[in-house]
Amino acid sequence: MEAARHPRRRAKRMERPQAAAVRDWSLAEVGSAPLDKRVWGRPLMVDVVHNVVKWQLAKRRAGTASVKKYWELRRTKRKPHAQKGTGRARQGDYRGPHMRGGITMFGPRPKDWSYPLPRKMRRLGVQVALSERRREGRLLVVDSLDPPEAKTRAANDFLARVGGSKMLLIDGVLPEGAKGTGRACEHCAKGAKDADPSEAALGIHEQLERDGDVFYDASTGRWAGELPEPSPGLLMATRNVPYMSVLPPQGVNVYDVVMNDTIVVSTDALRYMQVRLTRPIKRRPSTLYGGKLGSAEEPVVDGSAEEPVVDGSAEAPVVDGSAEEPVVDEDKEAADSLSREEVEALGVVALRGELRKQGLKVSGAKAALVARLLGEPEP
């Protein structure tokens, strides 16, 4: 008999979700949308969701709670009673912590409650939360979330048709020039009869790659163009409905997904979310000196300066072939071509790597640099 798995035990592999049905505002099916397993097929990870929610709530704290210190309390400084002769305990003033209206010991002071969380864990938390909502059957994909009229009545009717107590609407209009249809997948396109022959059907990974070229600027690591925003009609219709929240696709977070039992996504927002949650995380560019040793700019020679006149009558010095040529220390020249700022920015590790690339002696150049910095005679 197979033992029952613990409810908190993680699954080892991601699921391969089926294409989601796309519906219109009246919930009539009009097509299908492919779902990436990296976003919608993650196994449940309670610890990851818990850590991300704690991080979000910590960042939301204002941290403005403050009690008055002894020197901040505005109260009389006179002595409550005489030092001796009353039979009572000696007291200095009314501002002590044991006095009514006095200071509070070890009370809260303004502080920053936020703490760093790895970006991979933040992204994984969103993926896990969305995957769990899809697994529970609480994901609805709509072709457009622009209501027929910007009235509260239209939003209430939509909420009644979909069902649920709290709903999260994710809407955003894609920028101009977005590629791909956003609905056709490779398996659905094979049996499609009314497919456009001029436009080749793309799989989910090829489609995300093409969409990423439009949304994502790989050179700068930032999103190209304007970020998608929800339609004004949807914002007008839902602003008086207390249990309907509206977010742009770039604002999807774990807390809002967990706190709402139904997730409604437009097709444009779905494509944008899948690109954003699957593109590689752009690391910050390194500030380490990346040039080559000896690449300092040479001084500019002013052409207006007159060259010295060479007297042809002067005899040229006779070169004795038996004289030895001076030995050029390449390590010393490489060390002299660097300024103090470049040496400090370069670091010992990067310096050793650059010297090895150029075939120079590491020990000699390092000794020359240390001697230059300390003002000692070079070895």
DSSP string, 214-271: HHEETTTTEE-SPPP---HHHHHHHTT-TTEEEE-GGG--HHHHHH-SEEEEEHHHHH
Residues 6+ apart with CB under 8 A from 92: 79
What pLDDT does 202 receive?
A: 54
What pLDDT does 227 receive?
A: 77
Contact 122, 281 (CB under 8 A): no
Q: What is the pLDDT of residues 137-152, one digit of tens each?
A: 999 999 999 999 999 9
Q: What is the pLDDT of residues 287-317, one digit of tens each?
A: 544 444 444 444 445 555 555 555 555 555 5
Domain limits of the chain?
15-59+116-175+200-278, 62-112, 340-374
Q: Which residues of 199-229 are buried (b: 16+ CB within 10 A; e: fewer)?
A: eebbebeebbbebbebbbeeeeeebeeeebe
What distance in Å separates the CA atoms of residue 274 and residue 128, rounded to the nearest whole number? Answer: 13
Contact 265, 189 (CB under 8 A): no
- Size (the chain), residues: 379
Three-state DSSP state, 20 = strand
What pLDDT does 121 receive?
A: 95
Contact 75, 95 (CB under 8 A): yes
- For the full predicted model, state whether its pTM sits above 0.85: no
Residues 6+ apart with CB under 8 A from 87: none
Is the domain 15-59+116-175+200-278 a CATH 3.40.50.2300 member? Answer: no
What pLDDT does 367 receive?
A: 62
Mean pLDDT taken over the chain: 76
Residue 94 in tokens: 């009314």
Q: What is the pLDDT of residues 250-261, one digit of tens each?
A: 899 999 999 999
For the chain, which residues score pLDDT lower than 50? 1, 179-201, 288-300, 362
Task: Give the relative orientation of helices 340-357 and 362-374 as an angle to the nearest 10 degrees.
Answer: 170
